[in-house]
Chains A and B, each alone.
Chain A
Amino acid sequence: LKETTDQRKHWTGIFILLGIFIVFIKLFETNLIFKEFTLVTPLANTPLDDWLIYFQIISYSGLGCAFLAVALWYYWGSCRASFHNIQDMKKAKFIWGLLCGILCAILLISFFITIAQEGIWIAYLFYTLNILGFYYSATVWFSPVSVMDIPPGSTTLRFSR
């Protein structure tokens, strides 16, 4: 019963975090930083509105990939993981790192397919924040109990044990 309640709490937290990132991408990154402050200069023949649509598609897709990675991590942590020795711990770290590596690869792809004349580094920063930030914060705060200490820095960052 305890496990089910924890799982419900974790998934609620993951979805709230996802909502925060979605709102953050739409209102802060898109509307404020890029549309109002125009901290990016798209290429000629690319109106800002078109660039923003493109940015949002990549951002939401990246966030979707990160959510998928979190879901996989949660599924593996709650159903598949078994910890009997140090090897199992290493395996868990490897799984977390592998998912993180896949997200880094997705991040790199998003870097290559986004172009602008000026201010592109801000878009890169936001992509990193959206993809890796969501994956990291969701796995730190809302991992199953069995793997909650696997993400680096999780014991320090979590509110309390």
Chain B
Amino acid sequence: MKMKRAIIVILALLLIPFNPLFLAGCKNIKVPPPKKDPTDQLQPVSKKLNIDVFIDGSVSMLGFVSPGDFTYYSKTLQILQDTAITGSPDGHVTFSKFSSQVNRLGEQEVLKARRLDFYNGPATRIDKVIETASDKNLTILITDLFQNEADTALLIRKITDKYLRLGLAVGVVGIRSQFSGQVYDIGINDLNFNYNSGFENPKRFRPLYMMLLGKHADIENFFELLKHNGFNKFPETQYVIFSPYLVNPPPAFADAEFETMTKMIEISGLVDSNIKDKRLRQFRIKAMNGGFRIAFELNPLPYTLSYDSKQLEANIIISKFSPQGKTMSINPDSNIITVGNFSTLKQKLVFDTEIHSLVEKGVYIFDITIFPTFTAYKNPLWFSEWDMKTERIAEWRKNPLKFEGSTTFNLERLLTGLWQANWQIQKPKVAHIFCYIENR
């Protein structure tokens, strides 16, 4: 009798956790995982890369070869040729000369680029190169970027349409080389000035540029190869890349540290546990309002433009997954989430996320992209320092000896135009995260 009563009590106790009342809240809903975004992660360096090199053969380049065969321009051609061939062991390399037209060069003809008679073209039509180039290859142009006003606008548009719009990158290497000759078509009156840089002071050398068009990783890799092959010994060389990428690897939300968290609990199980996505974190909110302050490790890509980390902005797409399994989008102006108060400290991006008045039950999906605003970007100093100050043309006209041949006409306009176009189309991001917040 005693034993029977004891067994009944024990069984009753055992059944408590399985009571329907206790199990009422145990129903789990599986929310779809975040969609893949190819622009989140930098594509790796191409294993098989075809490189097309285009050498500016216009007369404006003549001054770079006239001082002799020992100039930085001459070395640039040599290093470029070596790097292109060794840098694409599985791909092929082509060389072309461009001016008003593009002409393919034979292997032996490339050597002629160090000779004066190579530079006889009437104009620098970079847009023609862009037209003929393949966006699947790495396209490299060697040019003095001689562009008049109309050329510059056209060039920005062509590069934007063919490369930036597709998520490809534009890299520019600024090189200074000895120069002796004519600098053509300066200002609206197309004035010509004679310029001799001398051999001593690199600051007086005339700039020439290597423009690289292709995948970001290939351009960055090519920069490194150029440096390794001798560019690191060049004076005053500058590098920049415009692309949709500012960081790599992208900051992992899953590894980020919370500085504070209020009324929220990090949970699991909202999405299938087999899905491992470092952009995703799942929470349960314990009240209508909650939030967190989080610190991300940032890995800025070299050669990209710097920006003011306080001038970041978040683009938020909100959707709600109901317990019935339906996903509906929510007006981003609904003010249920604010992301802001950005700052950086020791390579870490810190910001606040606050949730307001989350009334309806369900799982809220916050797709948050953080990017520098247009005004956050800072042009590197060399953009303006290497840019020709057109307001001084009158002065140079009176005194041609004062002509600043160490600068490039319309350089700042071209480079600024390129990053602005890239920002308009791609809005390069520093972080892309997904907050799944369950409200029960």
Contacts and interface: CB of A to CB of B under 8 A. Distances in A.
Contacts of A114: none
B27 to A, nearest CB: 9
B106 interface: no
B26 interface: yes
Contacts of B17: 23-24, 27-28, 31-32
A20 B266 contact: no
Interface string B253-268: 0000111110101111
Report the contact-size class of chain B (Cβ under 8 Å from the partner): 20 to 34
A45 B26 CA distance: 24
B25 A36 contact: yes
Given A31-B17, A36-B26, A38-B265, A44 B259 contact: yes
A38 B268 contact: no
Contact of A44 (B16, B23, B25, B292): B292
Given A13-B6, A27-B17, A32 B22 contact: yes
Contacts of A43: 261
A5 to B, nearest CB: 12
Contact of A24 (B16, B259, B265, B292): B16
A16 B3 CA distance: 13
Contacts of B263: 41
Interface residues of A, number: 28
Nearest to A50: B266
A42 B283 CA distance: 12
B10 interface: yes
Contact of A23 (B5, B14, B260, B286): B14
A63 B10 CA distance: 18
Given A28-B16, A48-B265, A141-B6, 16 more contacts: A13-B6, A16-B10, A23-B14, A24-B13, A24-B16, A32-B25, A44-B258, A44-B260, A44-B292, A45-B258, A45-B261, A47-B268, A48-B266, A48-B284, A117-B261, A159-B2
Query: Which 9 pairs from chain A and chain B are nearest by CB?
Result: A27-B17, A44-B261, A44-B258, A47-B266, A28-B17, A36-B25, A48-B267, A32-B22, A45-B258
Interface of B: 2-3, 5-6, 10, 13-14, 16-18, 22-23, 25-26, 257-261, 263, 265-268, 284, 286, 292
28 contacts: A9-B3, A13-B6, A20-B10, A20-B13, A23-B17, A24-B16, A27-B17, A28-B22, A31-B17, A31-B26, A32-B22, A32-B26, A37-B25, A38-B286, A41-B286, A44-B258, A44-B259, A44-B260, A47-B267, A47-B268, A48-B265, A48-B267, A48-B268, A48-B284, A49-B268, A117-B261, A159-B2, A160-B2
